[in-house]
Structure 1
Amino acid sequence: MVFPLKRLAQGGRLEKSELLPRDVYPQWVKIQTQWADNDIYGHVNNAVHYRWFDTAINSWLIRSGLLRLSGGKLIGLVVETGCRYAEAVCYPEAVDLGFGVSHLGRTSVTYRVGIFRELSVLAAAEGHFTHVMVDRKSRRPVVLPARWRKVLAAQMIET
């Protein structure tokens, strides 16, 4: 099933060729869809895509040694996210989430994320996810430490 990516009011559809290909993304996480992910329309509900973004990025931050769930001084608060859908994903498919850094700011990082059906070269959905890094206690923005900048900069992708 293919869904339009541009607003229906515009009367157009984004061509799949406008999506970033699989080989652009430096980091990958495989996710198994679950029975409860599907909605009444028979495909994974749009809200699930955002949960996958959060899971993929935060699990990578933990594995990279940047994010400490307890005791770490720095945490990322999501301030913006968005997703465009090209085709449906349905349970019981497994999907590959590719992601990389598309913008590195002074206190923030924006990731670009592609959700790929197995063996697909082009994404079924593509989105972005922005963290502002803050002090865990004060919740005030913090300049990204040099170590964070180095690790994140190594994941930059062209957008």
Structure 2
Amino acid sequence: MRNADRSQFPHFLAIPTRWMDNDIYGHVNNVVYYSYFDTAVNQFLIERGVLDIHQGEVVGFVVDSGCSYFSSISFPDTIHAGIRVSKLGNSSVRYEIALFRNDDPLPCAAGHFVHVYVERATNQSAPIPDAVRAVLAAIGTPRQATTP
């Protein structure tokens, strides 16, 4: 996704960097990028009314993630996190996230993570609820593979 541009992502969240995000080298530490991914996806789901972090009976657990870094981010940059769904399965979804620094046309980092939906009470795999599925399908990529 190094050459991905903003037009390839149907949803964005602006995330201001914080002073504490910088490491001793003067740029945002790599572990913080994963928090940007998590924030962008979960804020999207909460805003769409399909994630109740306190009472939801079915929740998504991150089971796989990865990130490639292309250029540095530093406080006080603003990150524009673009998200899309690249695979929507029965109980799992793969998100692709690109982080754009300020007005840069190409991402400074890009990655993915996979949510597996589980019943909160049992931690057992569960089908993605229909309302969640509809929201996720709306940000799917044209090459999205949907499995039954």
Q: Hey, what does 2:82 align to over in structure 1?
A: 98
**Offset of 1:146 from its aligned partner?**
2.0
Q: Hey, what does 1:127 align to over in structure 2?
A: 111
% same residue = 41
Q: Hey, what does 2:39 align to over in structure 1?
A: 55
Extract unaligned runs of 5+ from structure 2: 144-148
In 2, Cα distance between equivalents of 1:71 and 1:145: 15
Q: Check if 1:44 corresponds to 2:28.
A: yes
Q: Residue 147 of structure 1: SS of its match in structure 2? A: helix
Contact 1:76/1:133 (8 A) holds in 2:
yes
What is the one-letter code of the residue matched to 2:68? R
Higher strand share: 2
Give the root-mean-square deviation of aligned CA atoms.
1.3
Q: Check if 1:24 corresponds to 2:1.
A: no
In 1, Cα distance between equivalents of 2:43 and 2:95: 14
Q: Hey, what does 1:152 align to over in structure 2?
A: 136
In 1, Cα distance between equivalents of 2:48 and 2:125: 21
In 1, Cα distance between equivalents of 2:49 and 2:117: 15
* Stretch of structure 1 that moved more, 99-108 or 148-157: 148-157
What is the one-letter code of the residue matched to 1:68? D
The count of residues paired between Structure 1 and Structure 2 equals: 143
Extract unaligned runs of 5+ from structure 1: 1-15
Q: Hey, what does 1:70 align to over in structure 2?
A: 54
Q: Residue 140 of structure 2: SS of its match in structure 1? A: coil
Q: Hey, what does 2:146 align to over in structure 1?
A: none
TM-score, L = length of structure 2: 0.92
In 2, Cα distance between equivalents of 1:157 and 1:121: 19
Which has more radius of gyration?
1
Contact 1:19/1:126 (8 A) holds in 2:
no
Where in structure 1 do 4 or more consecutive aligned residues deviate above 2 Å? none
